[in-house]
Amino acid sequence: MSLPLPTIAARVITVAGFSFSRTLDKLMKMIDSGQCSSSVVAAIVASDPVLTALTLGRANAGADGEVAQVSGAVLVLGMSTVRGMIEEVMPLADRGVRLMATYWSQANATATMCRILVDRCAVFAGNRPDDEVLHVAGLLHTLGDMVAAIHFTAEYDVVIQRLRRGEGPFATLMKEELGADPGELGALVARAWNLPPTPAAVVRHHLRPLRAPEPLIPLVSLVHVARQLARGCGFVAGQDIYVEPIQPEVMTLLGLNPADLGSILDAFFAEMDELEVYEGLLVKTMRT
Amino acid sequence: MNLDTPGHYAHRRGGVASGAPVMGMRCAKRPAPARPPIRFGRCVTPERASGTGLAYTRVVDQEQRILLTQASPGMVLARPVRLPNKVTLCPSGATLDDALILRLMNRGIKRVMVLGASVPQLPRVGVEETMRAVRERFSRVRDLPLMHLLEKLVEDKLVRRS
């Protein structure tokens, strides 16, 4: 049974952040030690999609301009505010840990792929986005899926059952069961958490990048392609294992040559060997 | 005994007495072959060295390269932590604690080699399993030329890696 969008929006307002207890404990210890540099805290926060979203949201609430980088956001907030924010984050329970490990890995894989892809896209020649902006865009794109998996569990479970039966793509089934597809749900979360416009547009439009606001279409398109490449390489989330089509118009818009895909995948696998496996659970849940 | 030198065999239990025979001299007992000294290890498998009748202990070293953010207090460094200019920050055999982990993080160290295998690693997946998973992932988009090309590329890369 799908819910009206305003009802979902009302529920999303009270949605709490969530993360792995180990990550939260580690951050608390580091901040409490008083000897930890802000760059180290920013690096750990930036490996976690939800903590990244919360940090950026808090920083943008009080900043004049758009704070799109995690390192800048940690500096704006200060350690005590970051600590207070971490205290409010909900540690994940059993089911959530296993499921979120896969979402975390998919988000980090997409972020890595964004940084690799950007140098192969003709559209970014001369106006290449900052690496941190690319990382945040790739990391946060799946915010809607993650919130659905943790806070709308009944609808999410039905979607997964229908997905296994081949009744349609994940986004369509989410729309039918919940009343909002992952992009729409992510946009509601982005608004509730006060995300800046750039990552909010990525979250909202990554499934259909050509509908993004005009100046952000190249960046959203990049995330769209990076997501499908990462998923194709095995970084799928939970039971949502099926690769979705990459829109050919998006490849043309980016100026991305399909002949480059081989070398892109080589570079990606080399970087992913270095990726952290969250809580050691990625190994148990990754398909390949 | 040098604990830092890599090796796979422990020193003998018992065996040749001190005052090893000098080359060229007649000796009543045949000397045991030289063995590298013991290093670290958890899995100790006793073996009989063929022909000597002496017991040897085989040490299976287990080292793991992990991200520093995965490190926990109590882990033991298997190799020294060095800066790019070869300055050693921490020797092998040192036990990590929260303060040391934090200091290494602040120095920009991202990965360390530790003893044992306390952090789960990706299991080695066979070729058949890899191909089956790739085909399942692409099963709903295979009829699109671009996605078919991508499937073939991914399959090729993953099979090579497995």
B2 and B56 inside one domain: yes
B111 and B69 inside one domain: yes
Select from A36, A170, A269, A288 the residue whose CB has the most chain B CBs within 10 Å, as the one to mutate to test that interface: A288
CB-CB under 8 Å, B69 with A265 = no
Better pLDDT: A6 or B122: A6
Tell me whether residue B69 is in a domain: yes
B57 and B83 inside one domain: no
What total of structural domains would you count in chain B? 3
pLDDT over 90 at A35, yes or no:
no
CB-CB under 8 Å, A29 with B153 = no
B77 and B110 inside one domain: yes
Comparing CB atoms, the residue among A44, A169, A251 nearest residue B146 is A251
pLDDT over 90 at A49, yes or no:
yes
Least confident segment among A115-119, A181-185, B57-61: B57-61
Task: Give me the mean pLDDT over the A33-41 stretch.
Answer: 84
> For chains A and B, what is the number of CB pairs under 8 angstroms?
102
pLDDT over 50 at B8, yes or no:
no
CB-CB under 8 Å, A261 with B102 = no
Confidence of residue B31 (pLDDT cuts 50, 70, 90): low
Is A130 in a helix, a strand, or coil? coil
Question: Can you give chain B as a three-state secondary structure string?
Answer: CCCCCCCCECCCCCCCCCCCCCCCCCCCCCCCCCCCCCCCCCEEEEEECCCCCCEEEEEECCEEEEEHHHCCCCCEECCCEECCCCCEEECCCCECCHHHHHHHHHCCCCEEEEECCCCCCCCCCCHHHHHHHHHHHCCCCCCCHHHHHHHHHHHHHHHHHC
Query: pLDDT value at position B42?
Result: 31
B104 and B134 inside one domain: no
Task: Give me the mean pLDDT over the A2-25 stretch.
Answer: 88
Give the CATH number of the domain where residue B92 resides. 3.90.105.10
**Complete domains list, chain A, with CATH:** 5-90 (no CATH), 93-285 (1.10.3210.10)
Tell me whether residue B47 is in a domain: yes
B76 strand-pairing partners:
B95
| AA letter at B59 | V
Distance between CA atoms of A24 and A51, rounded to whole angstroms? 9
pLDDT over 60 at A189, yes or no:
yes
Distance between CA atoms of A65 and A85, rounded to whole angstroms? 21
CA dihedral B75, B73, A106, A250 (to 10 degrees): -100
A32 interfaces chain B, CB cutoff of 8 Å: no
Buried (b) or exposed (e) across A76-93, using 16+ Cβ within 10 A? bbebeebbebbeebeebe
Query: pLDDT value at position A65?
Result: 81
Query: pLDDT value at position A273?
Result: 67
CB-CB under 8 Å, A243 with B146 = no
Task: Give me the mean pLDDT over the A69-83 stretch.
Answer: 93
CB-CB under 8 Å, B140 with A280 = no
pLDDT over 70 at A274, yes or no:
no
A33 interfaces chain B, CB cutoff of 8 Å: yes
Name residues whose C-beta falls within 8 Å of residue B37's C-beta, 6 or more positions apart in sequence: B1, B2, B3, B5, B7, B10, B11
Tell me whether residue B84 is in a domain: yes
B98 and B139 inside one domain: no
Task: Give me the mean pLDDT over the A36-51 stretch.
Answer: 88
Task: Give me the mean pLDDT over the A76-88 stretch.
Answer: 94
The model's pLDDT over A125-163, given as tens digits with 9 standing for 90+, comes to 988 999 999 999 999 999 999 999 999 999 999 999 999
pTM: 0.75
Tell me whether residue B102 is in a domain: yes
CB-CB under 8 Å, A284 with B146 = no
Confidence of residue B136 (pLDDT cuts 50, 70, 90): very high
Tell me whether residue B82 is in a domain: yes
B6 and B40 inside one domain: yes
B50 and B77 inside one domain: no
B3 and B40 inside one domain: yes
Name the residue range of residue B84's domain.
63-115
Tell me whether residue B30 is in a domain: no
B82 and B43 inside one domain: no
Query: pLDDT value at position A265?
Result: 94
Tell me whether residue B19 is in a domain: no
B44 and B3 inside one domain: yes
Tell me whether residue B49 is in a domain: yes
Encoded tokens for A8: 């979902």
B85 and B53 inside one domain: no
Query: pLDDT value at position A30?
Result: 85
